[in-house]
Structure 1
Amino acid sequence: MVTELNEVTIRTATPQDAASIAQVHIASWRGAYAGIVPDDYLASLDHDQREAAWTQNLASSGADILLAEADGRALGFASLGPARDEDAESGDLEVYAIYLDPEAWGRGVARDLMRTMLGKVPPRTPVSLWVLKDNERAQHFYRRHGFAPDGVERRDDIGGRDLTQVRFRRTV
């Protein structure tokens, strides 16, 4: 359990961080999506599979992946890259992920990750992200950072449940 955080460092993640990122990713999914995504799906998330995916992603994705850590422990990560939506214009960016270990929620780590990531975005560059419609905590966080729903939604099957995702955009 994280009781007190010493100085949090945010740095570019490397393939050697894959195991730590996988651990945070699974813990965050289980905390953030409980009651939204089926419990049996959340329980089935496999660390080794997630680590292998992150090893590959960190080595070849072309995304900018940041890791937040304190006291040698990964607390969260975020990734940013070219927007993947059909209606995206050249140069548009997308936040692919921002996840935090639930034990670090409410301690400013996600805010610092988001600010650091957005600090890399060129002026007047649109940035989008997708969030589950039922994830009100995340939507509140994104609104605080200048994102707003743009009216585009998509349906995804996650763990056998048909869920709606909402696209948020930020233009400055």
Structure 2
Amino acid sequence: MAEVDGAVIGIAMSGPSQDPDATWGWQLFLLYVDAAHHGSGAGAALLNTVLHAHEAAAVWVADPNPRAQAFYGKHGFTPDGHSKAGPDVRERRFVRGPGTA
């Protein structure tokens, strides 16, 4: 959790990968920073709190979501060609470490 003056401005959560084809151990399930704090470094701090800096991991990102995709690219994640679509959202998988395309 990230806070400014006692107010929560962001949250993140990771855990063991849920993807059956994973060649990495961890998955980022959630990273959210309030829009008023985008660019503040809070997102990077949260990411580095829930995943070690160069740990092999994956994250599913809404597509299109160029801001989030650029953020993950900056932190070493690249799309691996996998996607999935639900009734309301399409997602692309980004990986860092083993399995990176």
> Residue 81 of structure 2 is aligned with which of 151, 162, 166?
151
Q: Which has the larger radius of gyration?
A: 1
Q: Aligned pairs, how many?
A: 98
Root-mean-square deviation (CA), in Å?
Answer: 1.8
Q: Distance in 2 between matches of 1:93 and 1:111?
A: 17
| Aligned position for 1:135 | 65
Indicate the SS of the match to 1:157. coil
Residue 116 (structure 1) shift: 2.2
Q: Give the alignment of 1:1-172 within 5 angstroms.
A: 67-89=1-23, 92-119=25-52, 125-158=55-88, 163-171=89-97
Structure 1: runs of 5+ lacking an equivalent = 1-66
Greater share of strand residues, 1 or 2? 2
Higher RCO structure (Cα 8 Å, ≥6 apart):
2
After TM superposition, the score normalised by the length of structure 2 is 0.87
Structure 2: runs of 5+ lacking an equivalent = none
Residue 151 (structure 1) shift: 0.6
Greater share of helix residues, 1 or 2? 1
Q: Distance in 2 between matches of 1:133 and 1:77?
A: 21
